[in-house]
């Protein structure tokens, strides 16, 4: 993967994914190294994202690298009518690598074609967010000891959530059983169901999960947004079904861990936070180590 961009999780083979997971563990054990000394990394966020941006910038800073960039497009030349192509050409002449967040689907692939240096896609609209998937995989490996043969519950908006789609694709390397829990309007798209069947991967669909959560190794929560529903009555009917409450964790497996890409609004009750099975804040921290691994791997430094 050296010197190539990371645009989609599908750019990585199973071996490459396992290499990142292994490197992330190394970086967590020893985070302060000067591997990025004298490197300058462009951090171009055309829309705000505190978590992703700060996680990348922390990873770079802890490795001794420097960041230049902007945190929203109002501070960029885009306001003067500059195209994405020209911005990328320019910044790729200044820097050793570019981290790009852009609201438009496909923008990261397009940027990678224009750039003189590798691009890491930090989210292009509803399309892909591969570094999120890699930190999710690292979090699963850390908490379960393995990525293989796990029972993975995905809950909430399975139609539009890019983190869900990428995680389904990446986990499919590791013989999982999936349980998809979503309202009818937000079911996992047909194309993913066909693809899973073609690969012989078991999956089940449900419209609630209170009764079956006892079987889960991983519960991956996402938010059900009001704006996704045409009919507000439909939203009102389902919204409370997809909220995780602490009592639901009573008879679950010891190894169960709750993940969430964050930010969370109200889809996980605050009293879950103190439950040892809640793992979303540590998951966010794992993002720093996963991103150290990704950056150094792409730059040929690890």
Q: Which residues of 248-260 are buried (b: 16+ CB within 10 A; e: fewer)?
A: bbeebeeebbbbb
Active site residue 101: yes
Active site residue 51: yes
Active site residue 237: no
228 in a known ligand binding site: no
Set 14, 51, 206, 245: catalytic member: 51
Sheet-wide strand order for 151-155: 202-206, 177-181, 151-155, 218-221, 257-259
276 in a known ligand binding site: no
Alpha carbon distances (Å) from 139 to 39, 230, 236, 281: 28, 35, 33, 11
51 in a known ligand binding site: yes
Binding site for its own copies (CB under 8 A): 32, 38, 40, 42, 48-51, 54-55, 57-58, 61-62, 66-72, 74-82, 85-87, 89-91, 93-95, 262-265, 270, 273, 281-282, 284-285, 288
Torsion of CA 293, 281, 235, 123, to 10 degrees: -20
Which lies closer to its own copies via its Cβ, residue 96 or residue 217? 96
Which lies closer to its own copies via its Cβ, residue 153 or residue 279? 279
Place of tokens 């293989």: 148
Set 53, 62, 101, 142: catalytic member: 101
To its own copies, the closest distance from the beta carbon of 76 in angstroms equals: 5
Set 52, 95, 131, 143: catalytic member: 52
To its own copies, the closest distance from the beta carbon of 284 in angstroms equals: 5
23 in a known ligand binding site: no
To its own copies, the closest distance from the beta carbon of 292 in angstroms equals: 12
What's the token pair of residue 240?
């409370």
Active site residue 277: no
262 in a known ligand binding site: yes
197 in a known ligand binding site: no
Active site residue 109: no
Which lies closer to its own copies via its Cβ, residue 189 or residue 263? 263
Set 129, 141, 257, 264: catalytic member: 129
Which lies closer to its own copies via its Cβ, residue 58 or residue 246? 58
Catalytically active residues, by annotation: 51-52, 80, 101, 129
Residue numbers belonging to the annotated binding site: 51-52, 80, 101, 129, 132, 162, 223, 262-263
Residue numbers belonging to the annotated binding site for L-aspartate: 80, 162, 223
């Amino acid at each position: 993967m050296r010197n190539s961009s990371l645009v989609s999780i599908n750019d990585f083979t199973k071996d490459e994914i396992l290499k990142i997971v292994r490197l992330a563990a190394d970086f967590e054990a020893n985070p302060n190294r000067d591997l990025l000394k004298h490197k300058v990394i462009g951090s171009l966020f055309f829309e705000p994202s505190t978590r992703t941006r700060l996680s990348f910038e922390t990873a770079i800073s802890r490795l001794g690298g420097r960041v230049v960039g902007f945190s929203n497009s109002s501070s960029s030349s885009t306001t003067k009518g500059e195209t994405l192509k020209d911005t990328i050409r320019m910044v790729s002449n200044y820097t050793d690598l570019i981290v790009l967040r852009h609201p438009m689907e496909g923008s990261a692939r397009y940027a990678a074609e224009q750039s003189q240096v590798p691009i890491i896609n930090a989210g292009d609209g509803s399309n892909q967010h591969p570094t999120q998937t890699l930190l999710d995989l690292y979090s699963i490996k850390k908490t379960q000891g393995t990525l293989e043969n796990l029972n993975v519950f995905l809950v909430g908006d399975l139609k539009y959530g890019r983190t869900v789609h990428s995680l389904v694709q990446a986990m499919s390397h590791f013989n999982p059983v999936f349980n998809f829990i979503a309202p009818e309007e937000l079911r996992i798209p047909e194309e993913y169901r066909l693809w899973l069947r073609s690969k012989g991967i078991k999956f089940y669909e449900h419209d609630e999960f209170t009764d079956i959560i006892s079987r889960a190794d991983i519960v991956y929560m996402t938010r059900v947004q009001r704006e996704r529903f045409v009919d507000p009555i439909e939203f009102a009917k389902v919204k409370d079904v997809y909220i995780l409450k602490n009592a639901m964790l009573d008879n679950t497996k010891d190894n169960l861990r709750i993940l969430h890409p964050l930010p969370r609004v109200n889809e996980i009750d605050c009293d879950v936070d103190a439950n040892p099975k809640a793992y979303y804040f540590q998951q966010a921290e794992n993002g720093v180590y996963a991103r150290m691994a990704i950056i150094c791997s792409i730059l040929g430094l690890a």
